[in-house]
Amino acid sequence: MRTLTLTLSAAALALGGASIAAAHNHGGERGFASADTDGDGAISLAEMQAKANQRFDRMDANGDGQLSAEDREARRAERFARADADGDGEITQAEWSAAREARRAARAERREDRQARMFARLDTDGSGGISAEEMAAAREARRAARGDRRADRGEMRRGRRDGAQRAMHMLRRADTNQDKVVTRAEHDAAVAARFARLDTDGSGTITAEEQEAAREARRAQREERRGQRRERRRAQ
């Protein structure tokens, strides 16, 4: 039952997470930009559906056109097959070690890429080296951003908790026949319904302002729920 619940939570995130307005973390602007494929500053239903369909296709691991517990099993089988290099149905110690080394190499590559990007940001004059002045400026920028990051992390943790609850709520909405499976048709209908809720002025597009308003509304709801929980605890 827990496996099924986790799978369906992921399915719900495929519905809500793919929506630009479901970006409850601080990647909202990037999510909006990635969905706004024509760069006109607004998200059409077609753009929102295209973004959501990309997420659906990634989640539909077995390619059967629906999101269910079988997709979780398919992803697990894919991971096993990647480690079972000779395809004999067993993972030897050598294959296990090779898979672990491959993961380490991938992490090292990502780390080198991050370091290269960081160096490029520090080298503000593009000279190929970092001066003492550039290093001092970077330290000041980090110091100024430190408090903001702490606040952001708190907001992101709260957003993740609320996001899990919202994911299951969206799943229940999408799974209209309550069979614990989200079909493509149910997915498309849920995306269209969510678009209609976010398009508050009925213009046929979702603007950045409407996205921000939705985010602020969710934040206000979280604050209200926290206040209610505090009141209940005091009353006990």
pLDDT value of residue 26: 39
Is the pLDDT assigned to residue 174 strictly greater than 70?
yes
User: Rounded to the nearest 10 degrees, what angle do helices 2-16 and 132-174 cross at?
Assistant: 110
Encode pLDDT of 185-209 as tens digits.
898 998 899 899 999 999 999 998 9
Q: Which amino acid is at 233?
A: R
- Write the pLDDT tens digit of every residue in 146-171: 665 555 555 555 555 555 555 556 66
pLDDT of residue 149: 55
What local confidence, expressed as pLDDT, does residue 47 receive?
92
The answer to whether the predicted template modeling score (pTM) of the entire model surpasses 0.75 is: no
Between 57-61, 129-133, 195-199, the lowest mean confidence (pLDDT) is in: 57-61
- Distances 24 to 79, 184, 215 between C-alpha atoms, Å: 29, 24, 7
Helix axes of 184-198 and 132-174: crossing angle, nearest 10 degrees: 120
pLDDT(15) > 60: no
Q: Where are the domains of the chain?
A: 2-235
